[in-house]
A and B are shown apart, each in its own frame.
Chain A
Amino acid sequence: MNAAVAAVFKRDLTLAWLGGAGAAAPLGFFVGATVLVPLAIGADGKMLALIGPPLLWVSAALAALMTLERVFQADLEDGALDQMLLARAPFEALVLAKGAAAWVAVGGTIALAAAPLALTMQAPLPSLPIIFIDMAIGMIAFFGTGLLAAALAAGVRRAGVLIALLVLPFYAPPIIFGAAATAAAARGEGLFTPPFLLLAGCALAALALGPIGAAAAARLQAE
């Protein structure tokens, strides 16, 4: 079972860096959005410190969203989903591996990029590791619920709109708590603030339910 899970994780990670739906496009989107908004607003330090955390979280959520469309669609179209259904591991575990690969490839890069971007928005240097952790945990919430929506929409052409509609209500809580946690970190309140704990709760719920729901939806798609 472990070999099958590792194989799916490794393949999806390789594909994320090699071709098509790579991790570079969402990263570019994330950096672009967070850099352009301050340019439009102007060099007001107080204002930047205020809008910084929400801006980071909204851009990160949208950057994660744009990668979801191909997560299952590509495997459904080329028949790779069939191969996984006959694998020597529970399909749920393989779906979790797919989600984990997306989380590492896209979520990890965005979380890494979030820290230096926060610096440009007046976040103090010691808060940067905390902002990275906030973002990495928030990405679990985004990809857990996103996986389910991606599986539901895998058979639909131009599924991006449908995925956005399905997912945005579920993205609201992690965005709210994540932005609050990052703002608290920037004020020097440390990692374990109440909004961070609520964010971690969202991530755990998404981690527990997302892969199971996504596996059930993907099975239906494979019929």
Chain B
Amino acid sequence: MLPSLRLSVEDLAVARGGRRIVERIGFNAGPGDYVEITGPNGAGKTSLLRVLAGFLRPLEGRVTMSSNFGPIDRDEQALCMHLIGHRDGLKGPLSVAEHMAFWAGLYEGGDEAAVLERVGLKPLAERPARTLSAGQARRLALSRLLLAQRPVWLLDEPAATLDIAGRAWLLGLVSDHLASGGIVVAAVHDPIGALPNHRVALNPATLAEAS
């Protein structure tokens, strides 16, 4: 089981390039909650995830996390989450196994052999990342989620390049994580299949009128 955490977002406003793109967003997610962020291109889904990850400072509002023992400070928050961006973050010349070893070190996780099996890349372990297909590269990027146990998963279009089997596999991954008490926040165009406990719909059109 994962440590039980709460992720609270209050009255969040986010600006990108000097323009307010996200306004008054709030949700309060607990163990086992799935938060689905939807909205058209450019609505600020990625920016919102980067605010949650602590990379981008919000214009207004705040993101807080707390455990049973009290609030978690900013530096500790980074250790409680994984962000899988829409870029896979792979290095062409490095092999699949080398990527896993790198992440296992970076996040102090382990059991690369079991993870390799679980993401279905075992036969490709020695292949350099530049020879992987888009779907295989995505599976490799998603393997970070399994290499180190972290309660909060921030996923940006996680299924974008996956085939039907890959999507089913991703749904299994997310469901297992939710069942063990994790939190998943995903920005999606096509629903990944899990039933959201909170929906965040970003809509730039209404925002333009308001500002």
| A18 contacts chain B at the CB level, 8 A cutoff | yes
Interface string of B121-163 (1 = CB under 8 A from A): 0000000000000000000000010001000000000000000
Within 8 A of B (CB), among A53-90: 74, 77-80, 82-89
| A3 x B105 contact (CB < 8 A) | yes
Q: Which residues of B contact A79 (CB under 8 A)?
A: 85, 87-89
Question: How many residue-residue contacts, CB under 8 A, span A and B?
Answer: 84
Q: Chain B nearest CB: distance from A171 CB in Å?
A: 29
State the CA gap A4–B107 with chains docked (Å).
7
| B94 x A83 contact (CB < 8 A) | no
| B88 x A88 contact (CB < 8 A) | no
How many residues of B are counted as interface, with CB atoms below 8 angstroms from the partner's CB atoms? 31
| A19 contacts chain B at the CB level, 8 A cutoff | yes
Q: Which residues of B contact A78 (CB under 8 A)?
A: 87-91
* Chain A residue at minimum C-beta to C-beta distance from B148: A88
How many residues of A are counted as interface, with CB atoms below 8 angstroms from the partner's CB atoms? 28
| B108 x A222 contact (CB < 8 A) | no
| A83 x B106 contact (CB < 8 A) | yes
Contacts A15-B94, A18-B93, A223-B50 given: A84-B87 contact, CB under 8 Å? no
| A6 contacts chain B at the CB level, 8 A cutoff | yes
Within 8 A of A (CB), among B74-108: 78-79, 81-83, 85, 87-94, 98, 101-108
What residues of chain B have their CB less than 8 Å away from a CB belonging to chain A? 50, 53-57, 78-79, 81-83, 85, 87-94, 98, 101-108, 144, 148
Q: Would you list 9 pairs from A and B whose C-beta atoms are within 8 A, ordered by A residue?
A: A14-B94, A15-B93, A18-B94, A19-B92, A74-B91, A82-B53, A82-B89, A86-B79, A87-B107
The 4 closest A-B pairs by CB, nearest first: A7-B105, A79-B89, A79-B87, A19-B93
